[in-house]
Amino acid sequence: MSLGQNQNSDLLIKQYEQAWQQVRHLDSSYIQITLLYMALIGAYIGSFDKLTTNLTIVSIGISAVSLCITGIIFRTRYLIDKQMEIILKIEESLEMMPSYSVSGLKNIRTSSYLILAIIFMTTIAIILGLK
């Protein structure tokens, strides 16, 4: 291996490690985003009987926040996919064994489960608030 190839390999390995760090960071962001939303919904459900405002408007606001959080999760998922493409290309160019693919249980990814949890909690919050 020549000196230029060795330097390229070192740079690719550094980029590979940085891409994995980014994937781990973004992957933990899924959980953090969902926990933040669940805390918001929990506070709402715990205090909706004390709210004197129009609960229909509050329910619309909760739905809007739910859509925003879902959009953030989809964006995070897209960024993880891009990082995984970089990792795959580096693994191929350095002839490394494929390490990991982003997935959940079978073909359903963790972000899909979190989005379902957000939709479920939003539905419960709206139904309880409008009763």
Task: Say how far apart CA 31 and CA 110 lie, in whole Å.
Answer: 9
Angle 22-23-26 from CA coordinates, rounded to 5°: 85
Q: Is the pLDDT of residue 105 over 90?
A: no
Q: How sure is the predictor about 103, in pLDDT bands with cuts at 50, 70 and 90?
A: very low
Q: How sure is the predictor about 57, in pLDDT bands with cuts at 50, 70 and 90?
A: confident
Question: What is the pLDDT at residue 99?
Answer: 63
How many other C-beta atoms are found inside a 10 Å radius of the C-beta of residue 23? 20
The residue ranges of every structural domain in the chain are 3-94
Mean pLDDT of 60-68: 91
Q: Which residue has the higher pLDDT, 5 or 95?
A: 95
Q: Following DSSP, what letter does each residue of the chain receive, concatenated?
A: --HHHHHHHHHHHHHHHHHHHHHHHHHHHHHHHHHHHHHHHHHHHHHTTT--S-HHHHHHHHHHHHHHHHHHHHHHHHHHHHHHHHHHHHHHHTTPPP------STT--HHHHHHHHHHHHHHHHHHHHH-
Mean pLDDT of 49-77: 85
Q: Is the pLDDT of residue 70 over 50?
A: yes
